[in-house]
């Protein structure tokens, strides 16, 4: 069972604000404006602080190359498997994906040979 609130007190509220003395009225409006501003800005401020904290944490996060465990510890070895953390480049066969170049070959489907499915042509030898 829901009980609806009467509407008339809310309609009388602006009239009561108008009846207040000028100093009290401006003080009330200032306080309400400050509360509204704080309610609007606090989530933005919290989001910015959370973003900065995440950046700081992710910079200190280290991932073990052997077992893949991510840890925040300042030690020189993985706490799970004991593999020492290395600061050298990734091993052969694993290249940095940011520097990788992907060769894409466009194939005209209407002129493709019938026996081979299009798009599966082997890349040219280097
Ligand atoms: Zn490990």
Percent of the chain surpassing pLDDT 70:
80
Query: What's the gap in Å between 61 CA and the centre of ligand 1?
Result: 13
Crossing angle (nearest 10°) for helices 22-60 and 8-19: 110
Between 91 and 18, name the one with better pLDDT.
18
Both structure tokens of 50: 């959370």
Q: How far are the Cα atoms of 11, 14, 15, 21, 79 from residue 5, in angstroms, in the given order?
A: 12, 18, 19, 28, 60
Query: What's the gap in Å between 28 CA and the centre of ligand 1?
Result: 60
Per-residue pLDDT of 66-102, as tens digits, reads 898 888 877 888 888 988 887 655 555 666 778 888 8
Residue 104 has pLDDT above 70, yes or no: yes
Contact 17, 28 (CB under 8 A): yes
Global confidence as pTM? 0.40
Contact 63, 70 (CB under 8 A): yes
CA distance 26 to 32: 10
Query: What's the gap in Å between 53 CA and the centre of ligand 1?
Result: 25
Give the other-Cβ count within 10 Å of 112's Cβ: 13
pLDDT of residue 1: 60
Both structure tokens of 47: 């989001």
pLDDT of residue 115: 61
Query: What's the gap in Å between 63 CA and the centre of ligand 1?
Result: 8
Query: What's the gap in Å between 105 CA and the centre of ligand 1?
Result: 40
pLDDT band at 39 (very low <50, low <70, confident <90, very high): very high
């Amino acid at each position: 069972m829901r009980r609806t609130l009467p509407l008339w007190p809310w309609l009388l509220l602006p009239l009561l604000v108008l009846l207040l003395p000028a100093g009290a009225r401006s003080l009330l409006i200032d306080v309400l404006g400050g509360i509204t501003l704080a309610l609007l800005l606090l989530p933005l401020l919290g989001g910015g602080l959370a973003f900065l904290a995440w950046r700081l944490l992710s910079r200190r996060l280290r991932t073990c190359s052997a077992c893949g465990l991510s840890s925040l510890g300042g030690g020189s070895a993985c706490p799970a498997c004991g593999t020492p953390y290395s600061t050298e480049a990734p091993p052969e066969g694993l290249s940095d994906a940011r520097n990788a170049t992907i060769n894409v070959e466009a194939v005209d489907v209407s002129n493709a040979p019938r026996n081979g499915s299009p798009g599966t042509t082997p890349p040219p030898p280097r």
